[in-house]
Chain A
Amino acid sequence: MKKDSFWKRVTGWSLFLPVVSLLLVMAVNIIHDIAVGANPLSFFMITLRQTTGNGTILYGRIIDILNRGSEVAILAIGMTLVVSSSAGTDISVGSVMSLCASFCCMLLAGYGVSSATTLACPLIVGILAGILLGVICGMFNGTLVAYFGIQPMVATLILYSAARAIGLLLCNDLIVYVRNGTFGIFGGFLGVIPTPVVIAAICILVMTLVLKKTALGMYIQSVGINGRASRIAGLNSKRIIFLTYMLCGLFAGIAGIVASSRITSADSNNIGLYFEMDAILAVALGGNSLGGGKFNLAGSIIGAYTIQAITTTLYALGVSSTQAPVFKAVIVILIVAIQAPPLKAYMKRRNMAKQVKGAA
């Protein structure tokens, strides 16, 4: 009886399915490694590796997942809040990433310069300006959604199509290279740990603290569940929706800087391309409803790393990149399906039937 209740507690945990999905994806690698006769745990091995010119770093596929998944994880934080408060998605985050990266690199290299090895302005100015531009983009989206009452998808469609183009203008239609070691640090390594992982961890930690220690999390959910009722209860619903879009822009800015630092350049055509889709998917994979209201931030983060785990697993299995999207789609369908309400309801009914049987 006691064991039963423990099992029930685990399956009843809101993150149960997202975590199981992530573990299942990674478990595929164990099966593959056994099948090819390699060390069953080789996918999970983390070692210290001597690099060429970068000191010693942590090395392994798990590190890759944490590292490469950072941008989507950072975006997923903002996306979760936006989805919760406004029951809509911000589809501009990928383009805003590109715009912020372009603005930052333009400042660092100087306008019209396509390749710079010395910085035209202090690093911190470029980085902060890039992130600030993200916040401004978020405020723009937030104003349209919260104060003008425009549908979120339509409102964010504007920057979705415009931001990348503005970025290209800022970069004078070129890929701007900032080949300076100090700029590369945000996409490189901090000691033995990849910096993007550290940045993502800080973003997640700060946001979690804010949501837990203040009433903001509750406010956002209550606005999402019923905006009018929240307003009558004394919450400024519009301001809260505005705030979530602003935060979403902030995180898009941070993600843009990370993506740009990885390649020490502003490739405005490709930075953040389709990332808005991955961020929305992360929210959904985390078991959150895209209909707004209650949200689980940890779920979205797990969702983000699940997406990256799928990508890395497909590489590890040697699936050709032409077929990879098909496999990715199948896995995503499976994960979304096992979390679908009808299936959950069915499992619940079956459990109850079992209990009734047991009692009888």
Chain B
Amino acid sequence: MNKKVLATVIAGAAAVMMTSAVMAEEPIKIGFAQVGHESDWRTASTKSCQDVFSAENGYDLSFVDCDNDEAAQKEAVRSFIEQDVDYIIIDPIIATGWDTVLTECDEAGIPVIVIDRTIDDSDKYAAWVGSNFKTEGLAAGEWLNAYATAQGIEEINALVISGSTGSSAQIGRSDGFNEVAEKYGWNVIDEQTGDFTEAGGQEVMENYCKSYEGQFNVVVCQNDNEAFGAMTAMDNAGVTYGPGNDVILISFDACTAGLEDVKAGKITADFECNPLAAPFVEEVIQKLAAGEEVEKEVYMVEHWYALEDAIVEFEVDGEAQEMTVVTDEVIEAQY
């Protein structure tokens, strides 16, 4: 009897060992169809996936850089189906025209996880992982309110340099900020697009400085590159910015170069748009593998950065927000 028990235990252990050995030999196959490589943010997003879904972590990642070509991206997804991958990750270049391809994935039984940008005309994907741009806009607004109160600034006259018109980041950030501006009765003087570029930010700010000379005390740039341009233009107009100066400068994205300018006391506060989606995607994949329900929309954790003096307490949708003080270590760790 004893012998029999022992034999069962040994057989069981052997079976477990064998399955784990099989698992180690057969990594989870993942196909990732990335938009392209147009910015530091995008590069960070790619690297995040390559780091998380590495061979050491038990994954086999097929990565395709679609170079902003929507046809190439759909082709990439179809090739993933042919390769019979276990999961497909898509950062859709455009929001529409996905139903046929996603149906094919569905029929092949491959779950699709959409990251960053959204798909509007199909719901045949397991989950979407990305940023809540509106929350970023709301956070910037609520922070500004708390900061202005703390500094004793009574009147807010804001100029906005927005991102590429119609992009989800521009719509969300504008909506969020404008909602707060309306709530507190702020004066948003003008909103012009800088197309998310430094040259665009420079030209728009150059004109703002002339059109609204001495009439503004807040400048909101919807990404760091625009903020770099706006700073040059304000320098040339003799307008000072950053904590304790004429103009409160707010920026979004919080890339390394942006945080360096926060540290240097130029950008007053920087609101992150987290490019590191992969850890959140991995969570979704683990849940799917275990047969658990996953949420259709997964929002990533994002950080709000400022220097010590500009750290204030504020709430977004009734939730207290935590701010991160920018130090050399924080900059070092940023993408």
Report A's interface with B, CB cutoff 8 A. 49-54, 57, 59-61, 64, 68, 114-115, 165, 168, 173-175, 177, 189, 259, 262-263, 265, 267, 269-271, 312, 315-316, 318, 320-322
**Contact present for A64 and B257 (CB under 8 Å):** no
**Of B199, B211, B236, which is within 8 A of A51 by CB?**
B236
Q: Interface residue count for B (Cβ, 8 Å)? A: 36
List B contacts of A61 (CB < 8 A): 210
**Of B190, B198, B206, B237, which is within 8 A of A263 by CB?**
B198
Q: A174-B40, A175-B39 are in contact. Are A315 and B238 (CB under 8 A)?
A: no
**Contact present for B236 and A315 (CB under 8 Å):** no
Report Cα–Cα, A256/B119, bound state, in Å: 37
Check if B50 is an interface residue, CB within 8 A of chain A.
Answer: no
**Contact present for A52 and B235 (CB under 8 Å):** yes
**Contact present for B192 and A173 (CB under 8 Å):** no
**Of B38, B165, B232, B237, which is within 8 A of A269 by CB?**
B38
List A contacts of B239 (CB < 8 A): 52
**Of A54, A68, A165, A318, which is within 8 A of B211 by CB?**
A318
Chain B nearest Cβ from A87, distance in angstroms:
32
Given pairs A52-B235, A259-B199, A262-B199, 19 additional interface contacts (CB within 8 A) = A49-B236, A50-B238, A51-B235, A54-B235, A60-B210, A68-B206, A173-B37, A173-B43, A177-B257, A263-B197, A263-B199, A267-B225, A269-B38, A312-B207, A315-B192, A315-B204, A316-B207, A321-B193, A322-B165
A-B contact count (CB 8 A): 81
**Contact present for B257 and A270 (CB under 8 Å):** no
Closest to B46 in A: A173
List B contacts of A68 (CB < 8 A): 203, 206
Within 8 A of A (CB), among B208-235: 210-211, 225, 228-229, 232, 234-235
Q: A114-B40, A175-B39, A263-B199 are in contact. Are A320 and B191 (CB under 8 A)?
A: yes
Closest to A56 in B: B238
Chain B nearest Cβ from A258, distance in angstroms:
11
How would you classify the secondary structure of chain B's contact residues: helix, strand, loop or mixed?
helix
List A contacts of B193 (CB < 8 A): 321-322
Q: Which 5 A-B pairs have the closest CB atoms?
A: A315-B207, A173-B37, A263-B198, A321-B193, A52-B235
Q: A49-B238, A52-B238, A64-B207 are in contact. Are A262 and B197 (CB under 8 A)?
A: no
Chain A nearest Cβ from B324, distance in angstroms:
21
Within 8 A of A (CB), among B10-50: 37-40, 43
Report Cα–Cα, A94/B232, bound state, in Å: 24
Check if B145 is an interface residue, CB within 8 A of chain A.
Answer: no
**Contact present for A321 and B40 (CB under 8 Å):** no
**Contact present for B40 and A316 (CB under 8 Å):** no
Report Cα–Cα, A147/B207, bound state, in Å: 46
Chain B nearest Cβ from A349, distance in angstroms:
43
Closest to B198 in A: A263
Closest to A315 in B: B207
